[in-house]
């Protein structure tokens, strides 16, 4: 794409647009930080190439930075952790996309982060077609992912007993200065949230 067309596309992408609940899809004031802009540029590259692993890794890394910024925002929440009106003026879509991006290539965030994202979606009531035209995913797809991984969980007293023999085998190997065999290690269950989340 020629430089002029890239500039026009960028202006169109970052144009002010507000959902019926007054949540901005993107806005110059709300989404002006370099980190947010950089993340959204990477996200546009991601839409053009869903299978490009290098973009996924970069996007996930930038997503972690955005989520740290989200945590540092001095915006109130209610006693039960729900968002308050000042959140509606924040640059919410990049944070929602960051939550989705961090389900890939990096370890998941605490479940409360994704539950919070679900609340943002419910509060903002984004129009599906408008949201999709901007970000290549729908609010419903995000809600589906956040609903799956945003469930409350806690440690179970019986969890250390699971695969006790495998844990013992690895501990014994390490104590003897051996690396241990892969098939002796405890089973890792991977809840695949990769391409399935885009389907």
pLDDT tens profile 120-168: 888 888 899 999 998 999 999 999 888 888 777 666 677 667 777 777 7
pLDDT of 189 reads 59
Q: Are 104 and 193 in contact (CB under 8 A)?
A: yes
Confidence of residue 21 (pLDDT cuts 50, 70, 90): low
Q: What pTM, to 2 d.p., does this model score?
A: 0.66
Closest among 30, 121, 140 to 82, alpha carbons compared: 121
For residue 63 the two structure tokens come to 């997503």
118 pLDDT more than 70: yes
User: What share of the chain has pLDDT > 90, as a percent?
Assistant: 12
User: What share of the chain has pLDDT > 70, as a percent?
Assistant: 69
Neighbours of 194 (CB within 10 A): 13
pLDDT tens track for 9-18: 333 333 445 5
Q: Which residue has the higher pLDDT, 183 or 132?
A: 132
Long-range contacts from 15-23, C-beta under 8 angstroms, 24+ separation: 17/130, 17/134, 19/124, 19/125, 19/126, 19/127, 19/130, 20/125, 20/127, 21/88, 21/123, 21/124, 21/125, 22/88, 22/89, 23/88, 23/92, 23/120, 23/123, 23/124, 23/125, 23/126
Confidence of residue 5 (pLDDT cuts 50, 70, 90): very low
Helices (H), 73-157: 92-101, 111-124, 128-135, 139-149
pLDDT of 11 reads 34
| DSSP code, position 109 | P
Q: Are 75 and 90 in contact (CB under 8 A)?
A: yes
26 pLDDT more than 70: yes
Tell me the C-alpha to C-alpha distance, in Å, between residue 199 and each of 31, 49, 51, 191, 194: 28, 14, 13, 15, 9
pLDDT of 197 reads 47
């Amino acid at each position: 794409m020629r430089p002029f067309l890239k500039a026009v596309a960028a202006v169109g992408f970052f144009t002010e647009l507000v959902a019926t609940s007054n949540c901005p899809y993107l806005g110059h004031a709300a989404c002006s930080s370099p980190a947010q802009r950089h993340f959204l540029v990477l996200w546009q590259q991601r839409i053009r190439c869903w299978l490009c692993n290098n973009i996924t890794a970069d996007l996930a890394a930038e997503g972690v930075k955005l989520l740290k910024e989200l945590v540092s925002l001095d915006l109130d929440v209610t006693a039960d952790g729900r968002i308050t009106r000042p959140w509606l003026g924040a640059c919410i879509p990049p944070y929602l996309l960051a939550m989705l991006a961090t389900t890939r290539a990096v370890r998941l965030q605490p479940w409360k982060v994704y539950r919070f994202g679900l609340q943002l979606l419910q509060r903002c009531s984004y129009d599906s077609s408008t949201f999709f035209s901007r970000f290549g995913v729908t609010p419903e797809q995000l809600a589906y992912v956040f609903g799956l991984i945003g469930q409350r969980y806690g440690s179970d007293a019986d969890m250390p007993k699971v695969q006790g023999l495998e844990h013992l085998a690895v501990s014994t190997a390490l104590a003897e200065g051996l690396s241990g065999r892969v098939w002796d290690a405890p089973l890792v269950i991977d809840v695949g949230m990769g391409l399935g989340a885009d389907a």
